[in-house]
Structure 1
């Protein structure tokens, strides 16, 4: 499935950190989370995102995949990202 951002999420940079605001909740992203958020563009699948992240970071593909899947699951559960 293609992943897209919820247009109702407010995105702010505060003291160098990317912060997402949705439904009265703040989500502070680290550098990896920020990369994932940027790549969720309504054109890529979860597999595409994992492949792109493997190109950016020198880590085990299985570990990257597991981490990205968990992070995306949280974003979907909380309504910041949806599958289309």
Structure 2
């Protein structure tokens, strides 16, 4: 999975926001505010990655248990999918 190139992450006054660019501005109303974990996930999603890749990256960066990390990653991905920023990944094994 990989995020669409029409969206970018910006840091504004210490907050991270995902904003649309180009013609996407006409169809996507608003922006999405994310925390540091979300910003790190966003950076990983700039290239083709699997859920397992995201999980491994977060577990290496943060002191968090695996179950909590899985839940948080899935919640973040669901938000991106609902916003049309990330295509729903096909069902594959991790």
Q: TM-score range by the shorter chain?
A: 0.7 to 0.9
CA distance in 1, matches of 2:48, 2:31: 25
Bigger relative contact order, structure 1 or 2, given CA contacts below 8 A and separation 6+? 1
RMSD over aligned CA atoms reads 1.6
User: Structure 1 residues 6 and 16 mapped into 2: Cα distance closer, same or farther (>3 Å)?
Assistant: same
CA distance in 2, matches of 1:80, 1:53: 20
Q: Which consecutive segments of 4 or more residues in structure 1 shift more than 4 A?
A: none
User: Structure 1 residues 44 and 10 mapped into 2: Cα distance closer, same or farther (>3 Å)?
Assistant: closer
Residue number in structure 2 paired with 1:9 = 7
CA distance in 2, matches of 1:21, 1:69: 20
Residue-pair matches, total? 82
In structure 1, the gaps of 5 or more residues are none
Alignment of 1:32-51 (within 5 A): 32-51=37-56
User: Structure 1 residues 10 and 53 mapped into 2: Cα distance closer, same or farther (>3 Å)?
Assistant: closer
TM-score by length of 1: 0.85
Tell me which structure has the larger Cα radius of gyration.
2
Question: Which protein has the bigger strand share?
Answer: 1
